[in-house]
Structure 1
Amino acid sequence: MNPLAKKYQQIDDQIVLFNEEYYLSVEKLDISSLTQETREALFNHLYDFDSSDMELEIDVSEEDKGVWYLQLLVPHVLTLPEAAKRRIGQGAEQLAQHLAGRVGALGQVRLQNDEIYEYVKRYNPDLERIA
Structure 2
Amino acid sequence: MDQVTKKYQAIDTEIVLFNEEYYLSVIHVDISALATPDRESLFTHLFEFDSKDIELEIDVSEEHVGNWFLQVLVPHVLTLPDVARKRLERGREELAAHLAKQSVNPVQAQLFGDDIYQYVKRYNPHLQVIG
TM-score bracket relative to the smaller structure? over 0.9
Partner residue, 2:94: 94
Shift of 1:77: 0.0
Aligned to 1:98, the other structure's residue is in SS state helix
Shift of 1:70: 0.1
Structure 1 gap segments, 5+ residues each: none
Aligned to 1:109, the other structure's residue is in SS state strand
1:85 counterpart = 2:96:
no
Structure 2 gap segments, 5+ residues each: none
Partner residue, 1:39: 39
Amino-acid identity (%):
59
Aligned to 2:42, the other structure's residue is in SS state helix
Q: Which amino acid aligns with 2:44?
A: N
Aligned to 1:72, the other structure's residue is in SS state strand
Contact 2:6 2:127 in 1 (8 A): yes
Aligned to 1:86, the other structure's residue is in SS state helix
Shift of 1:3: 7.3
Whole-angstrom distance in 2 between the partners of 1:104 and 1:42: 7
72-81 or 96-105, which moves further after superposition?
96-105
Whole-angstrom distance in 1 between the partners of 2:57 and 2:104: 21
RMSD: 1.2
Partner residue, 1:6: 6
TM-score when scaled to structure 2?
0.96
Partner residue, 2:123: 123
